[in-house]
């Protein structure tokens, strides 16, 4: 994708336009509330998938613990709004602008917390490769979940309730745009070539003097940051979070988006995230069988199009 | 002291089940080098097969119990071989990641089909074996625990025999060592891999029955946690290593039972993964595995 700045601007404009026209849409479009929920879900999944794509796709490190970072962000952001919010904004909840600032602070805190968790998880585990790395990240994700289940301040197994509903289409689009912008411009920068080199051939990269471990950790931490922000959005969208909502099924859901989109192909990953979020919604009338169809599709797609659904660079699919 | 022995006994009987599941993971990893995520759901299907077979066979008899065990093992073996044939074989030789995702797909398929066909609400597993409790110097031993340990021990001896004393076992080891070379000396890889899946799945089926005997509430998602832990056990012992899987399973079951009995009981699900991480960081090849040298 050329000139990422242009796309960032476009997306931010779209976000602003949407937030300005929400009132009109609500009045004139039947079932807008439902569409809006679906769109927000798509946006959050795009953020998760694109950020994981930096780790799994571009850098070639197979992480299965993305939901863990998402949960760290979700809890931290929710805690900021729940515990800090009333103190700073007062009883009435402050003006819309103040709430916006508050939410921005909460999301940033969530992202930074997740990034910190990314450092803590990444430094020991990124020495491992392939299946082993996948397992260790899976393990860390599960450990994070169990810890949240045991922290009483954060609601234990019941989770946190009554999180203010700050998440709007504007926020999701804006954070999504920033995520896509950061990942694309990072990968296309001089520095970012190191991620691709680490993916293509680790030994050769080390031989030409790249610090592959550092690249892996940087990718991991940036991925975790955006996963955390997405978690924050998710928490303020659902207004309630429980530790079980972030188990390894969620991680796998995100990984599937990355793989179907074609690893290391941001546009494809975005399309896959849209498709995989819409699919269960479209199949809702046959509720009982929809997950069966979803899993069957997954198997068939892997056999028929192993390079990913939206990867059109034939013959370049790499193991 | 008797408290300690009691926990040890409980731990060993849980560990024996983990070991049975872990064997399937480790054998498949040995021949195909990928994590068969669907294995834990084959385990679940085993328990449900036992549940439905239990309707036709009189309860509380040793013969009936063994018949159910054998039936579930056979059913799971067929299921495992079918999965391999339909989902994994078309991808053989492709990227490992794709096979991994397919395995996840198969796992989801089994779980969701289970929810549709078996129902999502937990069922009570029938008491297929006659049960009684013995007391032995302060220890309470349930007959189910004895069944678990005896059946597991027998199955492991049988497996050891198949792998080391039969022609197909030799072929399995050959494929695991070097698939191409095995093919060159006339081993039919397809048959060997299919057999490996059948064998591993049969053990998972047995594991499912034994697990359901001790924790008689079964549901379509029951396999997820024991499956993950059994995989941890396989890695702990050294993946691809059969005695390692058995050792890892027993160790993990024991540690988990002790944690469960302590004040840290709410962390019991985390302990398996903590062990996994520590092992992988300090001894990535597992307890009994041989470290491989990376060649450039």
Q: How far is B108 from chain A (nearest CA, A)?
A: 6
Asked if A267 contacts A281 with a C-beta cutoff of 8 angstroms, the reply is no
Q: Dihedral sign, CA of A246, B114, A285, A262?
A: positive
pLDDT of A28 over the 80 cut: no
The region of weakest confidence among A163-177, A296-310, B34-48, B230-244 is A296-310
CB pair distance less than 8 Å for A131 and B34: yes
- Alpha carbons B131 and B257: distance in angstroms, whole number: 22
pLDDT of B290 over the 90 cut: no
Average pLDDT over residues B79-108: 88
Asked if B193 contacts B31 with a C-beta cutoff of 8 angstroms, the reply is yes
Question: Is residue A2 very low, low, confident or very high in pLDDT (cuts 50, 70, 90)?
Answer: low
Average pLDDT over residues A19-31: 75
pLDDT of A281 over the 90 cut: no
Alpha carbon B135 to chain centroid distance? 29
- Alpha carbons B55 and B71: distance in angstroms, whole number: 13
Average pLDDT over residues A42-54: 95
- Strands B123-124, B133-136: pairing kind: unpaired
Give the model's pLDDT for residue A11: 76
- Strands B217-218, B139-142: pairing kind: unpaired
Asked if A299 contacts B76 with a C-beta cutoff of 8 angstroms, the reply is no
Asked if B123 contacts B208 with a C-beta cutoff of 8 angstroms, the reply is no
Closest chain B residue by Cα to residue A262: B98
- Number of CB atoms found within 10 A of residue B37's CB: 22
The region of weakest confidence among A53-57, A263-267, B204-208, B220-224 is A263-267
High-pLDDT (> 90) share of chain B, %: 49
Please list every residue in chain A whose beta carbon sits closer than 8 Å to the beta carbon of residue B100. 131, 134
The torsion defined by the Cα of A244, A249, A255 and A257, in degrees rounded to 10, comes to -100
Which token pair is A103? 């939410």
Which of A248, A299, A319 comes nearest B95 by C-beta? A319
Give the model's pLDDT for residue A93: 66
The span from the first CA to the last CA of chain B, in angstroms, equals: 54
CB pair distance less than 8 Å for B95 and A146: no
Please list every residue in chain B whose beta carbon sits closer than 8 Å to the beta carbon of residue A150. 266-267
Residue among B101, B128, B218 nearest A259 (CA): B101
Please list every residue in chain B whose beta carbon sits closer than 8 Å to the beta carbon of residue A203. 296
Using DSSP's 3-state secondary structure scheme, residue A83 falls into helix
Report chain B's mean pLDDT, rounded to a whole number: 89
- Number of CB atoms found within 10 A of residue B295's CB: 4
The values of phi and psi at residue B264, to 5°, are -95, 20
- Alpha carbons B158 and B162: distance in angstroms, whole number: 6
pLDDT in tens, B183-226: 999 999 999 999 999 999 999 999 999 999 988 899 999 998 89
The values of phi and psi at residue B130, to 5°, are -60, 135
pLDDT of B99 over the 50 cut: yes
> DSSP characters for B2-38?
HHHHHHHHHHHHHHHHHHHHHHHHHHHHHHH-S--TT
Question: Is residue A315 very low, low, confident or very high in pLDDT (cuts 50, 70, 90)?
Answer: very low
The pTM is what? 0.86
The region of weakest confidence among A122-136, B6-20, B157-171 is A122-136
Give the model's pLDDT for residue A316: 46
Alpha carbon A210 to chain centroid distance? 28
* Maximum Cα interatomic distance, chain A, rounded to a whole number of Å: 62
Report chain A's mean pLDDT, rounded to a whole number: 86
- Alpha carbons B264 and A149: distance in angstroms, whole number: 13
Using DSSP's 3-state secondary structure scheme, residue B141 falls into strand
pLDDT of A91 over the 70 cut: no
The torsion defined by the Cα of B203, B207, B209 and B214, in degrees rounded to 10, comes to 160
ipTM of this predicted structure: 0.82
CB pair distance less than 8 Å for B235 and A303: no
């Amino acid at each position: 994708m050329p000139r990422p700045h242009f796309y960032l601007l476009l997306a931010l404009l779209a976000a602003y336009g949407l937030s300005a026209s929400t009132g009109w849409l609500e009045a004139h479009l039947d079932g807008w509330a439902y569409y809006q929920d679906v769109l927000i879900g798509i946006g959050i999944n795009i953020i998760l998938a694109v950020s994981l794509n930096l780790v799994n796709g571009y850098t070639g490190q197979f992480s299965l613990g993305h939901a863990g970072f998402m949960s760290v962000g979700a809890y931290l952001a929710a805690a900021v709004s729940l515990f800090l919010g009333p103190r700073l904004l007062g009883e009435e909840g402050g003006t819309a602008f103040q709430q916006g600032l508050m939410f921005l602070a909460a999301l940033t805190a969530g992202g930074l917390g997740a990034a910190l968790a990314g450092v803590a998880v990444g430094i020991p585990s990124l020495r491992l490769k392939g299946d082993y790395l996948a397992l260790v990240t899976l393990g860390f994700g599960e450990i994070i979940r169990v810890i949240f289940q045991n922290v009483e301040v954060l609601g234990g197994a019941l989770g946190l309730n009554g999180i203010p509903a700050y998440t709007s289409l504007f926020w999701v689009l804006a954070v999504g745009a920033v995520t896509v912008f950061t990942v694309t411009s990072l990968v296309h920068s001089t520095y970012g070539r190191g991620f691709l080199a680490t993916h293509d051939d680790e030994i050769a990269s080390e031989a030409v003097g790249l610090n592959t471990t550092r690249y892996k950790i940087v990718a991991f931490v940036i991925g975790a940051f955006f996963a955390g922000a997405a978690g924050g959005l998710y928490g303020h969208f659902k207004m309630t979070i429980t530790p079980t909502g972030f188990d390894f099924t969620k991680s796998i859901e995100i990984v599937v988006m990355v793989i179907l989109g074609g690893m290391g192909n941001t546009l494809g990953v975005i399309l896959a995230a849209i498709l995989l979020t819409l699919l269960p919604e479209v199949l809702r009338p046959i509720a009982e069988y929809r997950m069966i169809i979803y899993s069957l599709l997954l198997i068939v797609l892997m056999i028929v199009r192993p390079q990913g659904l939206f990867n059109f660079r034939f013959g370049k699919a790499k193991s | 002291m008797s408290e300690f022995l009691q926990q040890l006994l409980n731990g060993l009987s849980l560990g024996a089940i983990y070991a049975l599941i872990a064997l399937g993971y480790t054998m498949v990893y040995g021949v195909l080098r990928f994590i068969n995520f669907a294995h834990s759901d084959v385990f679940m299907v085993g328990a449900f097969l036992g549940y439905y077979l239990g309707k036709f066979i009189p309860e509380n008899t040793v013969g009936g119990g063994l018949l159910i065990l054998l039936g579930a093992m056979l059913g799971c073996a067929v299921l495992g071989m079918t999965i391999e044939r339909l989902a994994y074989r078309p991808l053989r030789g492709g990227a490992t990641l794709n096979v991994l995702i397919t395995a996840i797909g198969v796992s989801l398929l089994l779980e969701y089909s289970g929810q549709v066909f078996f129902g999502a609400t937990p069922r009570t597993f029938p008491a297929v074996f006659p049960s009684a409790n013995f007391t032995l110097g302060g220890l309470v031993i349930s007959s189910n625990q004895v069944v678990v340990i005896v059946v597991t021990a027998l199955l492991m001896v049988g497996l050891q025999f198949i792998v080391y004393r039969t022609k197909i076992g030799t072929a399995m080891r050959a494929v695991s060592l070097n698939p191409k070379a095995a093919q060159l000396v006339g081993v039919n890889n397809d048959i060997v891999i299919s057999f490996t899946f059948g064998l591993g799945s049969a053990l998972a089926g047995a594991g499912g029955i034994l697990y359901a005997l001790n924790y008689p509430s079964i549901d379509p998602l029951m396999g997820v946690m024991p499956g993950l832990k059994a995989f941890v056990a396989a890695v702990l012992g050294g993946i691809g290593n059969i005695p390692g899987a058995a050792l890892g399973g027993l160790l993990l079951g024991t540690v988990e039972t002790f944690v469960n009995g302590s004040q840290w009981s709410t962390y019991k699900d985390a302990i398996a993964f903590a062990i996994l991480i520590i092992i992988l960081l300090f001894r990535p090849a597992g307890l009994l595995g041989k470290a491989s040298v990376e060649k450039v």
